[in-house]
Amino acid sequence: MSEPQHVVVVGGGMVAHRFVEALRERDTDGRWRVTVLAEEPRPPYDRVALTTYFTGRDPEDLNLGEAHLWADPLVRLRKGVAATSINKDSKQIRLSTGETLDYDHLVLATGSFAAVPPVRGTDHRGCFVYRTIDDVADLRGYVEQLRADRPDRVVRGLVVGGGLLGLEAAGALQALGAESTVVEFAPRLMPLQVDPAGGEALARLIGRLGVDVRVGAATEAVLAKQGAVSGVRLAGGERIATDVVVFATGVRPRDELAREAGLPVGERGGVVVDGACATDDPAISAIGEVACVEGAVWGLVAPGYAMAEVTVDRLLGGSGTFPGADASTKLKLLGVDVASFGDAFATAPGALEVVWSDSVAGVYKKLVVSDDAQTLLGGILVGDAAAYAALRPRVGRLLPGDPSSYIAPESTGAQVDSADLPDDVGVCSCNNVTAGAVRAAVAEQGCCSLTEVKACTKAGTSCGSCLPLVKKLVETEQRRAGIEVSTALCEHFALSRAELFDAVRVTGLTSFTDIVDRHGVGGNGCDICKPVVASILASLGSGHILAGEQAALQDTNDHLLANLQKDGTYSVVPRVPGGEITPDGLIVIGEVARDFGLYTKITGGQRIDMFGARVDQLPLIWRRLVDAGFESGHAYGKSLRTVKSCVGQTWCRYGVQDSVAMAVLLELRYRGLRSPHKLKLGVSGCARECAEARGKDVGVIATENGWNLYVGGNGGFTPRHADLLAEDLDDETLVRTIDRFFMYYVRTADRLQRTAAWLADLDGGVEQLRRVVLDDALGIAADLDAAMEAHVSTYSDEWRDVLEDPEKLARFSSFVNAQETSDPSLQYVLERGQARPATADERVAAARGEVELVDSERRPVVIAGDRIPVRS
Ligand SMILES: Cc1cc2nc3c(=O)[nH]c(=O)nc-3n(C[C@H](O)[C@H](O)[C@H](O)COP(=O)(O)OP(=O)(O)OC[C@H]3O[C@@H](n4cnc5c(N)ncnc54)[C@H](O)[C@@H]3O)c2cc1C
Ligand code: SF4
């Protein structure tokens, strides 16, 4: 056999890794040996996950490539060695070590460097960029040193650039305990991905997480004292004091080697290549962020992977060409979901927009569809991107249903049947994998789990946002083929949610990092497992949900222990157990609402919801409620909501039991219980069912002899009446049975599965449930009882806990400092004696003087064009 030829890859980044992996996988005859020159002193690593460095993960966790790949005799990785020049004629490159290396083929995969704008003072101590592990390690070291030097004051950080990198950097600063400000030149955050309304929603969400957002602001100079950063000056003269500046203002291709070697580069940089990823020297290719293919340079990893595959194909005699790329993005920035896909800005002629602005969850969702509303063209999701995995693959396709059903509240896109996805639809844009390829991996290549499908197809191995959809496709296909469906939670955990719950319960671990290290199969976690771990930890009562690493796993509402509303304010809904409230209690709630100018509404759960609270007001409101003997309540989170009751025997002529007393008892018992989904209960005092208990997860209906217990009901998209579990129970047995039902559900349900769906999936259905919770068929009843007892005895009011813990309270105090004036973006109209958010039409009408608006302090505001002066 002839000697293998030598391919040299310059650059040891993500795309270089993919190139080597693909080459070694496909070059089964060993026609090529490969040398990778990596200037950084480490193997290729997952740059996309760079920010996880700030959650305490070891940088080595980010390394890419199994040990056997780098130990392959046909692979040589040279860490800390840079290529310094190329001699095309002799097919040689010079190295930083002084050596010269011969090549048969050269692949440039040198990526990009972080661009720093031409403003004065960027060389001061305390200025950073955000590109490599060394960059983030330096940033962390600097901030930690400042904190050690000045323990009495919070470190202030400022990020120049409000794109996805800038927001990641702002999150990193927060994770380091620094205050963060984002300064963006464009009029909105993430201007390349979201439209003005999406940008506004994003700015509000991010702003309310403690990041000071300045849009439409140009940074003019970095200011310093004794050589160290002390502030920045904006165009117009405003100065912002800061100790650290991070530049996240874009990247530039590292095409210097190619330029010097005389290879053509694009107008805005990047080594010009054709569809085969070849430069004008056929012995040299360029892939990844350094390549300028069809006139474009791609700052995303997926196109780079496609180029790596094409180049490998060509080296092995194939004829692959770059298939084009998809700029779809889905990210979780500071705990806020943002996704943008397809024609997000509705540029296609006649394109229509369907917009949903969710007043309860505080989300902005937009779908762009063709002029006949049949074909999905693109979309933007801010605050809730659960539907992304199901929607993105449908871009350019007919939508099977009404567009609005995909973005309606609680739509996860999972309602979209994956079975109807045509085979040629791409589900993983990072790795260009179609639905058909996933199906074939199961049906034809014998893959038996999500992990195997990922290894076989590479679907979901990069950004991971397609994993929920891939998992669904795999399961559907397995069922079709009569194969037992794997219960593995995701690629990071071979355990099912129920098994993971038990594992965490037994080992008592309390951080995501420890749990994935001990019970996982490696990796940094994904959109599937992270929220599951957060929920499990909360169910097990592993400390306050804002304690330590847990805080980073929580969603926006849980971050601030209140319900985000469509105008960016929050609602507070005091717990009113069983809907029973004293006149004094009513007065307190009334006074709080009046004093803070809140809109009040009686909810379906028999509580009084107060809307329109700013974040800085939340601790003040909680203080008033706590002092009056109330606690705030959960109208968010996967937890107990309320126990609704009718007036019962005490007053009602038909009542046969004290439904109110039972409802109060149950609400106080299960408050704070975190579960796979929300929990609602109802108690009716007789069979007339005025509390609509059978529409709840647990319904209790009084009988002459005690209580009938119903389980697994719900309202919502697919209403379901609860099933009768037991009849004529006495109080004690009733409570014990509900304890066991809840704990059994919490331990064994799948992620985001309500009791109705769980019961439908339970082998043996309600009969089996009866055997477990009443007959102790599994011998776990004592364990379930003990678990509920632990929950009840350790329950603590999480809002009062914040008030009593200066560290947690500090999350809110930064808003208090920032909120000296009312927020001009909050505009209301008075209606039926209360203020409610103004609609877009009303804002326009106000500018014409036709409608009167008030601000968040309920003072009149005057609109003049796009400026909003506030009358004092
Ligand atoms: C914080 C962060 C978050 C991101 N998030 C996302 C995301 O969510 N989705 C997404 O698609 N993309 C994301 N990206 C972009 C993504 O990381 C890049 O697109 C991807 O890393 C490009 O891979 P590459 O191999 O072309 O370049 P790089 O990963 O930059 O690798 C190039 C390597 O080559 C080395 N090198 C350069 N010149 C030489 C030389 N002369 N000799 C030897 N070595 C050299 C460099 O030191 C570098 O290590 C993110 C980037 C960052 C920084
Ligand atoms: S359910 Fe029965 S007890 Fe309760 S209010 Fe209605 S009629 Fe009265």
Q: What is the mean pLDDT of each run of 10 residues along the chain (872 residues)?
A: 90 96 93 97 91 73 86 95 97 97 98 93 95 93 91 91 90 86 92 87 81 92 94 93 95 96 94 96 97 90 91 94 80 77 88 73 80 88 81 82 69 50 78 85 80 81 73 81 73 83 84 85 76 83 62 63 75 92 95 92 92 87 93 82 94 95 96 90 95 96 96 82 95 97 91 85 85 90 92 87 80 52 70 84 82 76 43 30
- d(CA 112, CA 291) in angstroms, rounded, equals 10
Give the CATH number, domain containing residue 338. Answer: 3.30.390.30
Note whether residue 804 is domain-resident. no
Task: Cite the annotated binding site by residue number.
Answer: 646, 652, 686, 690
Closest ligand relative to 18 C-alpha:
1
Place of tokens 């990210």: 331
> Which atom in ligand 2 lies closest to the alpha carbon of residue 648?
3
**126 and 180 fall within a common domain:** yes
**610 and 744 fall within a common domain:** no
Give the CATH number, domain containing residue 666. Answer: 3.30.413.10
Question: Going by DSSP bridges, is the β-strand pair 291-293/296-297 parallel, antiparallel, or unpaired?
Answer: antiparallel
**661 and 777 fall within a common domain:** yes
- d(CA 694, CA 714) in angstroms, rounded, equals 8
Give the end of a domain, one of 554, 586, 603.
554
pLDDT of residue 332: 66
Residue 253 Cβ inside 6 Å of ligand 1? The answer reads no
Task: Cite the annotated binding site for siroheme by residue number.
Answer: 690
* Residue 147, amino acid: R
**784 and 739 fall within a common domain:** yes
End-to-end, the C-alpha distance of the chain in Å comes to 87
Give the CATH number, domain containing residue 590. Answer: 3.90.480.10
Residue nearest atom 14 of ligand 1, based on CA coordinates: 48
Q: List strand residue ranges (DSSP E) for 455-531, in order.
A: none
User: Using one digit for the tens of pLDDT, what is the confidence trace for 671-723?
Assistant: 989 888 889 999 999 999 999 999 999 999 999 999 999 999 988 766 789 99
Note whether residue 418 is domain-resident. no
Report the b/e string of 851-870 with b at 16+ CB within 10 A.
Answer: bbbbbbeeeebebeeeebee
Note whether residue 364 is domain-resident. yes
Task: Cite the annotated binding site for [4Fe-4S] cluster by residue number.
Answer: 646, 652, 686, 690
> Which atom in ligand 2 lies closest to the alpha carbon of residue 656?
3
Give the end of a domain, one of 316, 347, 370.
316
Contact 277, 287 (CB under 8 A): yes
- d(CA 265, CA 740) in angstroms, rounded, equals 68
Q: How many residues are given for the chain?
A: 872
Residue 672 Cβ inside 6 Å of ligand 2? The answer reads no
Ligand 2: centre distance to CA 502 (Å): 41
Nearest-10 Cα torsion for 16, 20, 22, 25: -170
Q: Give, for ligand 1, the residue of 39, 54, 103, 113 to mutate: max count of ligand atoms closer than 8 Å to Cβ.
A: 39
**44 and 174 fall within a common domain:** no
**153 and 242 fall within a common domain:** yes
**549 and 568 fall within a common domain:** no
Q: Which residue(s) pair with 360 in the sheet?
A: none
pLDDT of residue 395: 85
- d(CA 713, CA 8) in angstroms, rounded, equals 63
Note whether residue 490 is domain-resident. no
Cα 715 to chain centroid distance, Å, stands at 26
**39 and 59 fall within a common domain:** yes
Note whether residue 365 is domain-resident. yes
Contact 182, 159 (CB under 8 A): yes
Q: Give, for ligand 2, the residue of 606, 645, 647, 703 to mutate: max count of ligand atoms closer than 8 Å to Cβ.
A: 647
Cα 170 to chain centroid distance, Å, stands at 16
- d(CA 51, CA 62) in angstroms, rounded, equals 10
Give the CATH number, domain containing residue 148. Answer: 3.50.50.60
Residue 109 Cβ inside 6 Å of ligand 1? The answer reads yes
Residue nearest atom 7 of ligand 1, based on CA coordinates: 48
Residue 270 Cβ inside 6 Å of ligand 1? The answer reads no
User: Using one digit for the tens of pLDDT, what is the confidence trace for 612-633?
Assistant: 888 888 899 999 999 999 988 8
- d(CA 290, CA 382) in angstroms, rounded, equals 30
Residue 686 Cβ inside 6 Å of ligand 2? The answer reads yes
Task: Provide φ and ψ at 467, rounded to 5°.
Answer: -55, -45
Note whether residue 99 is domain-resident. yes
Closest ligand relative to 39 C-alpha:
1
Ligand 1: centre distance to CA 677 (Å): 38
Ligand 2: centre distance to CA 691 (Å): 8
Residue 683 Cβ inside 6 Å of ligand 2? The answer reads no
Residue nearest atom 2 of ligand 2, based on CA coordinates: 686
3-state secondary structure 142-191: HHHHHHHHCCCCCCEEEEECCCHHHHHHHHHHHHCCCEEEEEECCCCCCC
- d(CA 123, CA 104) in angstroms, rounded, equals 41
- d(CA 555, CA 534) in angstroms, rounded, equals 10
**742 and 837 fall within a common domain:** no
**837 and 787 fall within a common domain:** no
DSSP secondary-structure letter at 58?
-
Residue nearest atom 13 of ligand 1, based on CA coordinates: 48
Residue 703 Cβ inside 6 Å of ligand 2? The answer reads no
- d(CA 682, CA 704) in angstroms, rounded, equals 18
Using left for φ > 0, alpha for ψ between -120 and 50, and beta otherwise, residue 706 falls in left
Contact 855, 822 (CB under 8 A): yes
Note whether residue 815 is domain-resident. no
Which residues form the domain of 502? 496-554
Residues 6+ apart with CB under 8 A from 798: 544, 545, 561, 672
- d(CA 114, CA 130) in angstroms, rounded, equals 7
- d(CA 432, CA 305) in angstroms, rounded, equals 9
pLDDT of residue 55: 66
Residue 655 Cβ inside 6 Å of ligand 1? The answer reads no
Total Cβ atoms within 10 A of residue 571: 24
Note whether residue 537 is domain-resident. yes
113 exposure class (CB count in 10 Å sphere: 0-12, 13-18, 19+): middle
Ligand 2: centre distance to CA 565 (Å): 34
pLDDT of residue 679: 94
pLDDT of residue 817: 45
Residue 325 Cβ inside 6 Å of ligand 1? The answer reads no
* Residue 99, amino acid: E
Ligand 2: centre distance to CA 583 (Å): 23
Question: Going by DSSP bridges, is the β-strand pair 105-108/5-10 parallel, antiparallel, or unpaired?
Answer: parallel
Give the end of a domain, one of 581, 613, 637.
637
Residue 93 Cβ inside 6 Å of ligand 1? The answer reads no
Residue 198 Cβ inside 6 Å of ligand 2? The answer reads no
* Residue 671, amino acid: R
Domain count, the chain: 8
Ligand 2: centre distance to CA 682 (Å): 12
Residue 646 Cβ inside 6 Å of ligand 2? The answer reads yes
> Which atom in ligand 1 lies closest to the alpha carbon of residue 40?
47
Q: Give, for ligand 2, the residue of 644, 654, 656 to mutate: max count of ligand atoms closer than 8 Å to Cβ.
A: 654
pLDDT of residue 199: 87
Task: Provide φ and ψ at 76, rounded to 5°.
Answer: -130, 115
- d(CA 743, CA 780) in angstroms, rounded, equals 10
Helix axes 781-794, 765-773, angle to 10 degrees: 70
Residue 647 Cβ inside 6 Å of ligand 2? The answer reads yes
**16 and 156 fall within a common domain:** no
DSSP secondary-structure letter at 695?
G
**513 and 576 fall within a common domain:** no
Total Cβ atoms within 10 A of residue 470: 26
> Which atom in ligand 1 lies closest to the alpha carbon of residue 291?
26
Six-digit token string for 312:
């490998």
Residue 254 Cβ inside 6 Å of ligand 1? The answer reads yes
